[in-house]
Structure 1
Amino acid sequence: MKKNSILYISMVLTGLMLFSTACEDEELNPYVEPLPGVHAFGQFAADSPTNFIIEQTGEDLNINLQWISVDRELEVEKIDVFVLFNESYRDVDNNPLVAEHGGDEGIFYTTIEGGELPANRENTTISISQEDVLNLYNGTTYDYDEDGTAEDVFDNDFKPSRSNDAPFISGDNFSIRWVLYTTDGLVFDSWSPSVCTELPGANCSVDWILECGQVIKEPAQDYTITFNDSYGDGWNGAAISVIVDGEATEYTLADGSTGTEVVTVPEGTTSLSFEFISGDYDSEVSYSIVTEKGNSIAAGGPSPSVGAITLDLCVENE
């Protein structure tokens, strides 16, 4: 019988963290309300872009954030928001690496409190642009070639394509995270992986990338979709829909832990897009999409966002 996770959260005051253990029989009870604690849930507003667009430095992303008191006993009085900026690069030996410029915690961005802080399970909106992130990280240095000399992140030979018009480029990715303060003096600054990835209506960050639009310049080619399932029994109804000139075809993993599908998009195609269709156990599901040129243009999961898949086309469209 297949098992999934039911969450039991215990609050450890000395560490100011939440931990969990997991055990679930999905046929008996798919979800049990956690024990006392607070967490939060962030998602892009319905009318907001979901990624930065290259050279559109002033355009805001709007993120709705709500705090949740599980048993309504604890009340949040303040939320601190931090911004993380990670940069993909290759070292002098051409090894792919990631520079975590904000470390694990990021740089402080804003505080939500007083009249700006909504009630339990109600949204407040955080707006952030490329200009905002640049202001936070401007002057940051990093030792790219590990020779003991740090270079300016926004003016270095490893990324000559950075400019005043395009301070962020392909391979950059971003997140916001939050710290919750309750009225009785508790601080919640981290949660278990189960809360971050499996608990309905909860997460630990909102993530996005720098993209170059969503139109593939050369859509007619082969695309390799790789399907992964952490439990090993297939995607349980989830699928990736490939829409070619308005005609949709669904692809999935029928069984097992991994599989691939090569999708050939014919010559003469004028529009191509991809969508993720939700199944019964999305927390087990992940995927990647790689073009004929060898570029990874999309990856998602576990618990991929439902609907249109955002493509990373900066390298593909060069």
Structure 2
Amino acid sequence: MKKILSLTIMVSLMLAFAACRDESLNPLPTFLPGVHGFTVFDGIAFNGNLLSRPQPYEQNNAKNFPKAAQNTAKIDLKTRWVSLDNKLTVNKIDIYVRMLESYNDPDGNPKVADLSGNGKGKLISTIATPAANRQWNSFSITPQQIYDAYKTATVKYDKVKAVNVFSNPARPRPTNAWMRPAETATYGAVEADNFIVTWVLYTSDGQVFNTWNPDSICGDPTSVSEANSNCQISFVVK
């Protein structure tokens, strides 16, 4: 009888404490569902090894723009969105590209200009109806697309006067060869134009995902799987 009475008192006390609990003071975070993306160069062989990282198909510069005939060139990529708990659905993916131009200032110091002016890049392509969770979506990026997006970009190379990047008399960019490779002679030691591809995911419930944890998502350390992730991929001109 004493045991039953003790259990009854304990249960009553637990119910009383639970009824008075203020959930706003709960130190444990509430984790909401989210989505992330994984973008790779298309058409790159796996080398028969799916377990080691990094893989050739996801490395930066696995493909690059050519030095000439850029009006007919392209880089093929593929991307997929991932919902680990299957609670969200992505209904649109925007592809952005940041263009970074290297140059030397009047004092000979190496500089890098982000031509987007916002650190986020410019919209290059939209996947209006993405495939289902963890399924690939193919797309391409061309020099023509990037030229069209950045053709009005300017840089103050002398720290004073803004000069159009693509009509800069001090460093001409010929038609059909707008994007520049690395240089060591004519203009001094200058790195190649660099292009950083990022993406924005839109879900059917109106959420927008464009920023992820730099450690767990952007620097995904796990072996290759359908849940892999990254936050950007880049290439240059070679």
2:175 aligned partner: 164
For 1:204, the aligned partner's letter is: C
Task: Give the TM-score of the pair, scaled to structure 1.
Answer: 0.52
Partner SS for 2:145: helix
Q: Offset of 1:158 from its aligned partner?
A: 4.0
1:70-115, Cα deviation, whole Å (9 max, x unpaired):
211111111111111100111000111101001311111222123x
- Normalized per residue, the structure richer in helix is 2
- Report the counterpart of residue 173 of structure 1 in structure 2: 194
Give the 3-state SS of the residue equivalent to 2:212 in structure 1: coil
Q: 1:151 aligns with which of 163, 188, 200?
A: 163
Letter in 2 for 1:100: D
CA distance in 2, matches of 1:98, 1:36: 37
Is 2:144 the partner of 1:131?
yes
1:204: Cα distance to partner?
0.8
- The secondary structure found in structure 1 opposite 2:199 is strand
SS in 2 for 1:154: helix
| Number of equivalent positions | 174
Q: CA deviation at 1:56?
A: 2.8
Instruction: Say whether the 8 Å CA contact 1:177–1:205 is kept in structure 2.
Output: yes
C-alpha distance in 2 between matches for 1:78 and 1:165: 31
Within 1, Cα distance between the matches of 2:35 and 2:69? 36
Matched residue, 1:272: none
CA–CA separation in structure 2 for the residues paired with 1:180 and 1:126? 15
| 1:302-313 pair list within 5 angstroms | none
* Counterpart-to-counterpart distance in 2, 1:40 and 1:141: 32
2:85 corresponding residue in structure 1? 71
- Residue 35 of structure 1 and its aligned partner are, at CA, apart by 7.3
Q: Say if 2:201 and 2:209, in contact at 8 Å, map to a contact too.
A: yes
Select the residue among 182, 192, 198 that pairs with 2:213.
192
CA distance in 2 between counterparts of 1:199 and 1:191 reads 15
1:141 equivalent in structure 2: 154
Task: Tell me which amino acid in the other structure corresponds to 1:43.
Answer: V
Root-mean-square deviation over aligned CA pairs: 1.9
* Aligned twin of 1:250: none
Contact in 2 for aligned 1:51/1:208 (Cα 8 Å): yes
Aligned CA distance change for structure 1 residues 113 and 145 (closer, same or farther; 3 Å): same
Higher strand share: 1
Structure 1: how far apart are the matches of 2:171 and 2:218? 33
CA distance in 2, matches of 1:158, 1:73: 54
Q: Distance in 1 between matches of 2:174 and 2:66?
A: 14
1:130 partner letter: P
Conserved? CA contact 1:66–1:120, under 8 Å:
yes
Cα drift, residue 53 of structure 1: 0.8
**Contact 2:37/2:229 (8 A) holds in 1:** yes
CA–CA distance in structure 2, aligned partners of residues 204 and 158 of structure 1: 35
Partner SS state of residue 237, structure 2: strand
- Who is 1:255 aligned against? none
Matches of 1:88 and 1:99, distance apart in 2: 6
Q: Which runs of 5+ in 1 are unaligned?
A: 1-33, 212-318
CA shift, 1:172, in A, is 0.2
| Higher-Rg member (1/2) | 2
The whole-number CA distance in structure 1 between the counterparts of 2:178 and 2:74 is: 15
CA distance in 1, matches of 2:152, 2:32: 44
Name the SS of the counterpart of 1:181 in structure 2: strand
Corresponding residue to 2:203 among 182, 187, 204: 182
Partner Cα separation in structure 1 for residue 210 and residue 90 of structure 2 = 13
Gaps of 5+ in 2: 1-30, 45-56, 182-191, 223-227
1:36: Cα distance to partner? 3.2
Pick the aligned partner of 2:40 from 5, 23, 43: 43
Distance 1:198 1:35, change over 3 A: farther
